[in-house]
Structure 1
Amino acid sequence: MSINFLGSYSGIDQSTIDQLMAVEKRPLIQLSEKKTNTETQMSAWNDVRTRLTNLFDKIKALQNTETFSSKKTSGGESATLTVSKNTPEGTYDISVSQLATRGSVVGGAITAMTSVSGDSSTELGLTGKFSINAAEDGSGNVIEVTATDTVRTISDKINAISKESGVRSAIIDNRLVLTNVETGNAEIKLADLEGGTMRSDLGLDTSTGGAEIIPGKNAKFTVNGVDVERTSNSVNDVIEYTTINLTKMHAEGQSDSIVVSKDTSKVEEAVKGFVDQYNSTMNFITDKLKAGTPGETASRGTLAGDSSLIRLQSTLRSMVTSSIANENTSIGDISQLGVSTVDKFGQLSFDASKLNDALNEDPLIVQNFFNSKNAEGNEIGFVSRINGYIDSFSSTTGIIKGKTDSFDRTLKDINKQVESFNIRMERKEAYYVNMFAKLDTAMMQAESQMGWLTSQISSMTPTKK
């Protein structure tokens, strides 16, 4: 077993070596600071890219023709309109005299079940076949009943072909109730097959009064005085590009007046969204470029003095407010649409009334300002100009990608330096331990030899009598 007596004779123990190593490791602190600064700058540029991407997403809505061609409705309770960009503007007076309902057949009591006081899980012992809404030649939609069938299994069989027959089944008070899937006055046609009496056995024979027929109704309403009848309460073939939704009947002589007009709110929301994101982005860039107070590192921006970021800030500010040469619009710059600069830092304000005035006068002129095509088929306008510049920074081949790649290479180099430096420090510490251990050994041996020499000298010295 080896025992370490480091420092026993020399007085140089592990704490002394730790102090020496602390001096040796000072360059590691510099590498750590460099790594932290690089990571901070890399993170800041990634944040810039995220904000530019958000700005791109906000302005992208102004490229969409739907944003400028949207319509809205006002008014309407018993009837409403689902409009599209092509819905003709105007006022539509709609009066609903009858809503569409579903026809049904309410079955009577089933003798095979009531005779044994059974329920929907009681086997009926019936056999036979019947059809529901069969084809003109009598084929299709056949329900086959076997002796082990119950009211529940027969109902399930009917529902299994409801897509083909257009009829659904429910069990109410142990009776079968058949209902049309769709609204309207379509009749539910039931027929016995192979000479059987299955309709009667199941309480569904409408010819003998065993079942009650509740006829369905078509919707009846007027649009601007024109009488209309349809099988559904949702009608999309009366007003072009529009769906009429009927919800309740009007009292006689009453109607809903529904106005269809331009919806400028989407354009307003898009412009406001762009202005808000632009201001947020510019505030962020300004904060990262702060020169700070001399001697106070904490007040200095992470990317202070970065020429690329300074250029981005300056160019964005100029591009947003400067004029655009666009033969497709009479609007020269965005200030004519209510967006203007409010301070020296490029912050924008938005007056929605100016935008709405321009939209009410001619929405196409506004749309063309933001996005249109020139004679060569190339996109021109405010959006394409801003997006093109943003893309030069935030794309996968843009300036920010080059920046972050450079930071990444620097971090990898620093990590290699740290790894190499730590290996050297391990060797250096081992060297110190070995050297001072040898010094202790040498001092121990010297002490031992000194003791031996002293004893020899003492033995040779005559004793006084």
Structure 2
Amino acid sequence: MAITASSTTALDVPSLVSQLMAVERQPIDKLTAKIASYETKISSFGTLSSLVSGFQTASAGMNTSLLKLTATPSDASVLSATASSTAVPGSYSVNVSQLAQSQNLVAAGQTSSTAAIGDGSATTVTFDLGTIDPNTLGGGTLVDGIYSGAIFTSNGSGTASITIDSSNNTLEGIRDAINAAGLGVNATIVNDGSGTPYRLALSSSNSGVSNSFKITTSGGDGSINSLLGYDPEGTQNLTQTLAAQNANLTVNGIAITSASNTVSEAIQGVTLTLKNTTSTPASLTVARDTSAIKTAASSFVDAYNALASQIKSRSAYGSITQEAGSLAGDGTLRLMQDQLRGIFMTPASGGSLTTLSQVGISIQKDGSLLLDGSKLDTAVSTNFADVSNLFSSSTGYATRLEDWAKSALEPGGLIDNRTKSLTQYIKDQNEAVDKLENRMSALEKKYIAEYTNLNLLLSRMNSTSTYLTQQLASSQSE
């Protein structure tokens, strides 16, 4: 009788270990999925945080817009104007008889702007700013840009000096030294096209009669003094091309003088910028900036709707047709919803307008807001005080909503606390995963060793079986 032995197939250790480890890693996979879901929650709160911040800005903008006024002149070529929140709406008559200007002086012409002036020995040039009165002592005059019998009175701002020497004793060097020193004086070089065309021109940085020049020199060989010395009471080596003067105007018939063409507080809360004189008075209308209010209200509605839409979608529970939101069932999100709902359901106090619907902002069935711009315009034009109270008082909607947004975003607020708790959970679970990964690594090594040894055993058994079979077959043949 013939005896046969069947060999045992060797185990596929990598495949077998891989299948076993897939089972062993199921707790890690569950933790990893949970961590991913919490990371999604943090991302969702990041999105909501950005939207809450935008809503906070829009709420603050709503309050700010109610303080804005416009100042519109009848002739924009005469003046422009801006109005602050302290301005009083109304119409004002403005007549401009004289614009403010700076004194301008020009030096004698030179053949070159780069040629040395004098021998280069050091000369101190001192500038003083003040008032020139050509009519003091009766008989003071101004002829061809030169004063006679004038009195100069310093404005008290102090003197400032520069030094001209061999390093800068040219027109260009003098110009640069003056401009670099910040003396309240601007220097340029003009070319008048004559035989000695290059002329140093000086102007005071600020307009007004109290910013006229007195220029004195000391030291040197006298060449710089001959060029720049200017004493309204004495020798004047520069020629005045424009006299310093104040702006003269009237507002509603009241005479006003200003050293600058920018005139503040001639009208309460209004800054005028004078551009030209008038032959007939110009009117200036100060009014509420209804366009800014409507724009701010639109931004307020849009910012809320963007926030409400995300809160709704991220808190939605799943259904057959809809996947659950990333924050479905989250207690913090529910609390945010309840707080917002409470603010919108609580009327403002202190005025005849108590709800947003009275000024054209209504709540729709889906919870969003809708703005009726015409209704808002009417409310602003007919009852501004109560509109302002509705939004900006301590019980006003914009005030309360801005405060809510601020509290939700601040450290220790709803979003911050929830994000921190989620972050801590992720940290804890990652630590648990790390421990399990170490265990899996050891377990995998164990499985590989066990099944590798088993393969060796099977191999030996196959060898033994083969040997026995051969021995039996040999004995039978004998």
Cα distance in structure 2, aligned partners of 1:223 and 1:286 = 56
Aligned to 1:435: 450
- The answer on 1:368 being equivalent to 2:389 is yes
CA-to-partner distance for each residue in 1:146-187, whole Å, 9 max, x for gaps? 355421333334335443xx3232233443222222223554
Cα distance in structure 2, aligned partners of 1:202 and 1:388 = 66
Aligned to 2:376: 355
- The answer on 1:197 being equivalent to 2:222 is yes
Calculate the TM-score normalised by the size of structure 2: 0.76
Is the contact made by 1:123 and 1:149 (CA closer than 8 Å) also made in structure 2? no
Aligned to 1:232: 260
Cα distance in structure 2, aligned partners of 1:447 and 1:102 = 114
Structure 1 residue 24 displacement after superposition: 2.9
Aligned to 1:158: 178
Cα distance in structure 1, aligned partners of 2:293 and 2:277 = 36
Cα distance change, pair 108–272 in 1 and its aligned pair in 2 (3 A): same
Is the contact made by 1:183 and 1:216 (CA closer than 8 Å) also made in structure 2? no
Is the contact made by 2:118 and 2:222 (CA closer than 8 Å) also made in structure 1? no
Cα distance in structure 2, aligned partners of 1:350 and 1:432 = 69
Higher strand share: 2
Cα distance in structure 1, aligned partners of 2:289 and 2:300 = 19
* Alignment equivalent of 2:127, drawn from 127, 132, 140: 132
Equivalent position amino acid for 1:358 in 2: A
Cα distance change, pair 187–421 in 1 and its aligned pair in 2 (3 A): closer
Cα distance in structure 1, aligned partners of 2:342 and 2:426 = 35
Cα distance in structure 1, aligned partners of 2:323 and 2:15 = 38
Is the contact made by 2:129 and 2:212 (CA closer than 8 Å) also made in structure 1? no
Equivalent position amino acid for 2:179 in 1: N
Aligned to 1:376: none
Cα distance change, pair 91–414 in 1 and its aligned pair in 2 (3 A): same
Cα distance in structure 2, aligned partners of 1:299 and 1:201 = 90
Is the contact made by 2:208 and 2:260 (CA closer than 8 Å) also made in structure 1? yes
Cα distance in structure 1, aligned partners of 2:161 and 2:343 = 72
Cα distance in structure 1, aligned partners of 2:413 and 2:161 = 67
Cα distance change, pair 321–352 in 1 and its aligned pair in 2 (3 A): farther
Equivalent position amino acid for 1:370 in 2: F
Structure 1 residue 211 displacement after superposition: 4.1
- Count of aligned residue pairs for this structure pair: 433
Cα distance in structure 2, aligned partners of 1:19 and 1:237 = 85
Structure 1 residue 259 displacement after superposition: 0.9
Aligned to 2:239: 212
Structure 1 residue 140 displacement after superposition: 4.6
Structure 1 residue 301 displacement after superposition: 2.0
Aligned to 1:171: 189
Calculate the TM-score normalised by the size of structure 1: 0.78
Aligned to 1:23: 23
Map residues 288-437 of structure 1 onto 2, 5 A cutoff: 288-294=314-320, 299-306=323-330, 308-310=332-334, 312-324=336-348, 326=349, 328-343=350-365, 345-372=366-393, 379-383=394-398, 385-387=400-402, 390=405, 393-437=408-452
Cα distance in structure 1, aligned partners of 2:312 and 2:57 = 21
CA-to-partner distance for each residue in 1:212-247, whole Å, 9 max, x for gaps? 321225334443445544432212253333322112
Cα distance in structure 2, aligned partners of 1:149 and 1:34 = 77
Aligned to 1:184: 208
Cα distance change, pair 322–22 in 1 and its aligned pair in 2 (3 A): same
Structure 1 residue 85 displacement after superposition: 2.3
SS state at 1:202 partner: helix
Is the contact made by 1:170 and 1:177 (CA closer than 8 Å) also made in structure 2? yes
- The answer on 1:284 being equivalent to 2:299 is no
Cα distance change, pair 204–105 in 1 and its aligned pair in 2 (3 A): farther
SS state at 1:133 partner: strand
Cα distance in structure 1, aligned partners of 2:180 and 2:404 = 59
Aligned to 1:39: 39
Aligned to 1:87: 87
CA-to-partner distance for each residue in 1:334-368, whole Å, 9 max, x for gaps? 2212211222x222112233333333334333333
SS state at 2:213 partner: coil
Percentage of matched positions with identical amino acids? 26
Unaligned runs of 5+ in 1: 1-7, 373-378
